[in-house]
A and B are shown apart, each in its own frame.
Chain A
Amino acid sequence: KAGVTQTPRYLIKTRGQQVTLSCSPISGHRSVSWYQQTPGQGLQFLFEYFSETQRNKGNFPGRFSGRQFSNSRSEMNVSTLELGDSALYLCASSLARTQETQYFGPGTRLLVL
């Protein structure tokens, strides 16, 4: 069974631009979560989608948004990029419930200049 895939793997943007990251979960998984990982803040939860609905949300500004499609693929969008948005963005999928094991993708490394 294929694992979680994320595209692109690396991205360089400039301040003020917007970016869209994509995540394809493991086949059969309906929950997709997004995390931001930075050296200073560690691994922080952004949001979780289940059956095309945002089920949970972390403490991030509205510039961070996401969506999930009917095939469970998910996208994350960051508008008006700031230097502090430079991070590794990780996507994880799980079967259904929040307390299920998460399987992570390789991440998208975003650099904002």
Chain B
Amino acid sequence: AQKVTQAQTEISVVEKEDVTLDCVYETRDTTYYLFWYKQPPSGELVFLIRRNSFDEQNEISGRYSWNFQKSTSSFNFTITASQVVDSAVYFCDPTGGNQFYFGTGTSLTVIP
């Protein structure tokens, strides 16, 4: 079974600051995928990124970047130059077996 830890329950930053959301997971699977989802106040989860456990190359997409380190079982997410619209709950989800396991989420508030 998977276990996901998003130790940061709530984070507040001032607009334009950079912020990193941490995700640490446990898995017995040798092959798995890692996802990040964003849940704005409207409630609908929005897919952000999907990574294969074999691919440890870090990725940048606009203001978003992800740091995947298999050796430490971490898949951290960084928002550069945060904006008010980034305010949301962010969920990390490692899935390798037959179920989806979500972390408890990190609530990010960007203060204008």
User: Do A98 and B35 touch across chains, with their CB atoms under 8 A apart?
Assistant: no
User: Chain B at the A interface: mostly helix, strand, loop or mixed?
Assistant: loop
| A42 and B35 in contact, given A98-B95, A107-B43 (Cβ under 8 angstroms) | no
For A, the interface residue count at a CB cutoff of 8 angstroms equals: 22
| A56 and B99 in contact, given A42-B104, A43-B91 (Cβ under 8 angstroms) | yes
Quick check: is A48 within 8 A (CB to CB) of the other chain?
yes
User: Chain A at the B interface: mostly helix, strand, loop or mixed?
Assistant: strand
Instruction: Assign chain B's interface to a size class.
Output: 20 to 34
| A43 and B44 in contact, given A98-B95, A99-B32, A101-B35 (Cβ under 8 angstroms) | no
Which residues from chain B sit less than 8 Å from chain A, CB to CB? 32-33, 35, 37, 42-47, 50, 91, 95-105
Which residues from chain A sit less than 8 Å from chain B, CB to CB? 33, 35, 42-43, 45, 48, 55-56, 58, 88, 90, 92, 98-99, 101-107, 109
